[in-house]
């Protein structure tokens, strides 16, 4: 059965949602979603891709009063989200709604921040809108995936447009009909394909989604109208962008099951499907006295891992984020996989290159998404085996609040130093803020 009114139903749900409606676990998931990407944006605020984006937007003559996280410049309200969203995603360290492989924080949160800054919304309003945006993006993703992902669409770029428009529209006070027009404006711009994995264009996807979402909400507020059935129409998003959509999935248990609670936070700064392999590398690290002792490594993974993470010889840091071979190597050599493990220097480091060339990958369709099997053969013939049933950060093995705080400190403290704690307080308890201004203020470097 196809639900004919999914666009209207989602917009009615989003505009009716109130802070008081959110269960405690949902509020907590929303706080974690916001804090995680705020930290990442500050941590990546001087990343080359971010510097380029700011320079390009300024080159275009864009100006305005919308704030950037971790940077002093201000831009127009439809452009600041582009930079903030890009910064949140560029390290591939953000979050994942595992069922759809959507990274919801990077498109939804910057759109909400820009709209909240425009409207003077409170932290509770912001968090409620973020939850609404994540729900819509994830639920439409549920309806379109896995076929949508298999068609090479980058779900963060496509579904991110919907979530961003909804979050911004809610904060700008749109009624359900106006929000549906905003959704239509955003849906028709849903874009981004996964050939871009490893290029800077990939992190542009959530940035554009956020920017287009805010613009869609502003245009809808000004009176622009869109199609009646942007998602479910015969030439709408579902029909054009997925081979087998089931739109009933978008409304299943709406308001009872909260998809934001299924948003998992990345412990490693790379494509999430390789996280089990990194866990295995970390676990085997203590059993390998000298990496030169390794003769060969075989990793057994789900086929999608090689489809999106099959780069054998990554030439630079961004490409190494999509190399399952590199991921295992840094897991074993470094005992972790933060941004430093995916720098240009580490991507071309001789010891990493030597080890990753010993890694072969075998696919097994029966392997769960968050699992893998690894065998390391040492030169003396010893065989070391390790199974990962649920990767760190997966829904079944989520990062704790304390782990999330340490991750936040890892990325933010090199930028803010002693100011890190103040930003953590603001970001992790954003619902206690009267406006988002203190969050932006705390994100700025001192001196």
Partner 1 sequence: MTSRALVDGVHAAAATGLPPAVRSSTLRHLLLAVASVAAVARAPRVRPLVEHALAQGGRASTPVPGRSELFDAPGAALVVGSAAALGGGAAAAAPPAAALTAPLTAPMAAQLAPVLGAALPVLARDEADPDLLLDALALGVEVQVRVARALEPSAAAAGWDRAGLVGPLGAAVTAGLLRRLPLDRLHHAVAIASSTTLGHGEAVGTDVGDLHPGKAAVGGLLAATLAAHGSTGAPAVLDGPRGWFRAVAPDLDPATTGEVLVAGLGVDWVLAPGTDGAADHGADQRLDREADAEAAALVEGVAPGRGSDLVRAVRALPEHGGCRSLLAALRLEAP
Contact window for partner 1 (CB under 8 A) among 101-109, 201-209, 251-259, 367-375: 201-209
Q: Of the ranges 215-223, 256-264, 271-279, 402-410, which one interacts with partner 1 (CB under 8 A)? A: 215-223
44, 80, 190, 300: which one contacts partner 1 (CB under 8 A)?
A: 190
Measured from the CB atom, the residue of 33 and 189 that comes closer to partner 1 is: 189
Specify the residue, 307 or 432, whose C-beta has the smaller distance to partner 1: 307
| In the complex, least distance from residue 60 CB atom to partner 1, rounded to whole angstroms | 4
CA nearest neighbour of 217 among 11, 439, 365: 11
- The minimum distance between CB 139 and partner 1, in angstroms, equals 19
Q: Rule CB under 8 A: is residue 226 a binding residue for partner 1?
A: yes
Q: Does 178 bind partner 1 (CB under 8 A)?
A: no
Give the shortest CB-229-to-partner 1 separation in angstroms. Answer: 7
Q: Which region among 53-61, 328-336, 347-355, 386-394 touches partner 1 (by CB under 8 A)?
A: 53-61
Note whether 236 binds partner 1 by CB under 8 A: yes
277 CB-near residues (< 8 Å, 6+ apart): 299, 301, 305, 324, 327, 328, 331, 372, 374, 388
Contact with partner 1 (CB under 8 A): which of 208, 266, 302, 356?
A: 208
Structural tokens at position 136: 């819509």
Helix axes 401-416, 24-43, angle to 10 degrees: 30
Question: Hey, which residues between 306 and 325 contact partner 1 (CB under 8 A)?
Answer: 307-308, 318
Where are the alpha helices (H) located in 68-175, listed in sequence order?
80-89, 105-119, 123-144, 147-150, 155-171
The residues, ordered by sequence, that sit 6+ positions from 421 with a Cβ below 8 Å of its Cβ are: none
The answer to the question of residue 153 lying near partner 1 (CB under 8 A) is yes
Q: What share of residues in the chain are helix, strand, coil (percent, to 5)?
A: 55, 10, 30
| Token pair recorded at residue 165 | 């428009």
Residues 6+ apart with CB under 8 A from 385: 373, 374, 375, 376
Q: Smallest gap, in angstroms, from Cβ of residue 74 to partner 1?
A: 10
| 254 phi and psi angles, rounded to 5 deg | -60, 130
From 104, 107, 141, 230, residue interacting with partner 1 (rule: CB under 8 A): 230
- 205: contact with partner 1 by CB under 8 A: yes
Q: Of the candidates 316, 315, 284, which has an alpha carbon nearest to the alpha carbon of residue 297? A: 284
DSSP one-letter code for 343: S
Q: Do 131 and 26 meet the contact criterion of CB atoms below 8 Å apart?
A: yes
- For residues 116 and 110, what is the distance between their CA atoms, to the nearest angstrom? 10
The DSSP-derived string for 283-305 is HHGGG-S-GGGEEEEEEEE-HHH
Alpha-carbon distance of 162 to 152, in angstroms, equals 18
| Residue 381 interacts with partner 1 (CB under 8 A): yes or no | no
Sole binder of partner 1 in the list 162, 185, 404, 411 (CB under 8 A): 185
Closest CA to 323 of 312, 333, 315, 331: 312
Contact yes or no for 169/10 (Cβ under 8 A): no
Q: Which of residues 424-443 bind partner 1 (CB under 8 A)?
A: none
On whether the CB atoms of residues 121 and 226 are closer than 8 A, the answer is no
Among 237, 282, 327, 391, contact with partner 1 (rule: CB under 8 A) = 237
Q: Which is nearer to partner 1, 198 or 267 (CB)?
A: 198
24 forms part of the interface with partner 1 (CB under 8 A): no
List residues bridging with 388 in a β-sheet: 372
Measured from the CB atom, is 227 or 438 closer to partner 1? 227
Q: Segment 56-115, which members bind partner 1 (CB under 8 A)?
A: 56, 59-65, 76-79
Asked if 204 interacts with partner 1 (CB under 8 A), we say: yes
For partner 1, the closer of residues 319 and 399 by Cβ is: 319
Give the per-residue contact string, 278-307, with partner 1 (x = CB under 8 A; - = no). -----------------------------x
Residues that bind partner 1 (CB under 8 A): 48-49, 52-53, 55-56, 59-65, 76-79, 151-154, 157, 181, 184-185, 187-201, 204-205, 208, 215, 218-219, 222-227, 229-230, 233-237, 239-241, 243, 307-308, 318
């Amino acid at each position: 059965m196809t639900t004919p009114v999914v666009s209207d139903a989602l917009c009615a749900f989003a505009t009716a949602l109130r802070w008081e409606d959110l269960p405690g676990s949902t509020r907590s998931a929303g706080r974690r979603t916001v804090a995680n990407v705020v930290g990442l944006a500050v941590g990546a605020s001087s990343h080359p891709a971010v510097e380029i984006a700011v320079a390009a937007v300024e080159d275009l003559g864009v100006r305005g009063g919308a704030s950037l996280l971790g940077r002093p410049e201000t831009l127009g309200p439809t452009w600041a989200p582009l930079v903030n969203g890009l910064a949140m995603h560029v390290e591939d360290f953000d979050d994942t709604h595992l069922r759809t492989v959507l990274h919801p924080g990077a498109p939804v949160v910057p759109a909400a921040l820009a709209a909240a800054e425009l409207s003077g919304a409170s932290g509770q309003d912001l968090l409620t809108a973020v939850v609404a945006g994540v729900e819509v993006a994830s639920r439409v993703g549920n309806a379109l995936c896995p076929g949508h992902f298999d068609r090479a669409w980058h779900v963060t770029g496509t579904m991110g447009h919907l979530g961003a428009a909804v979050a911004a529209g809610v904060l700008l006070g749109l009624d359900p009909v106006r929000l549906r027009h905003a959704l239509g404006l955003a849906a028709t711009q849903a874009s981004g394909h996964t050939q871009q994995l490893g290029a800077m264009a990939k992190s542009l996807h959530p940035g554009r989604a956020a920017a287009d979402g805010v613009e869609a909400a502003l245009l809808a507020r000004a009176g622009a109208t869109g199609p009646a059935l942007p998602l479910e129409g015969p030439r709408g998003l579902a029909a054009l962008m997925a081979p087998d959509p089931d739109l009933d999935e978008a409304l299943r248990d709406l308001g009872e099951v909260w998809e934001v609670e299924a948003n998992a936070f990345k412990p490693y700064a790379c494509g999430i499907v390789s996280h089990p392999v990194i866990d295995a590398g970390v676990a085997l690290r203590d059993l390998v006295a000298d990496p030169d002792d390794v003769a060969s490594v075989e990793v057994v993974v789900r086929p999608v891992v090689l489809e999106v993470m099959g780069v054998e010889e990554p030439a630079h840091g961004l490409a190494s984020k999509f190399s399952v071979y590199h991921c295992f190597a840094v897991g074993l050599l470094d005992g972790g996989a933060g941004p430093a493990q995916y720098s240009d220097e580490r991507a071309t480091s001789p010891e990493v290159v030597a080890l990753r060339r010993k890694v072969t990958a075998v696919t097994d369709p029966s392997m769960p998404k968050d699992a893998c099997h690894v065998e390391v053969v040492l030169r003396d013939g010893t065989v070391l085996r390790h199974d990962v049933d649920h990767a760190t950060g997966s829904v079944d093995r989520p990062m704790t609040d304390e782990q999330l705080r340490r991750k936040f400190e890892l990325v933010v403290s090199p930028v803010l130093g002693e100011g890190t704690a103040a930003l953590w307080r603001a970001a992790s308890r954003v619902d206690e803020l009267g406006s988002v201004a203190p969050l932006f203020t705390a994100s700025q470097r001192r001196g």
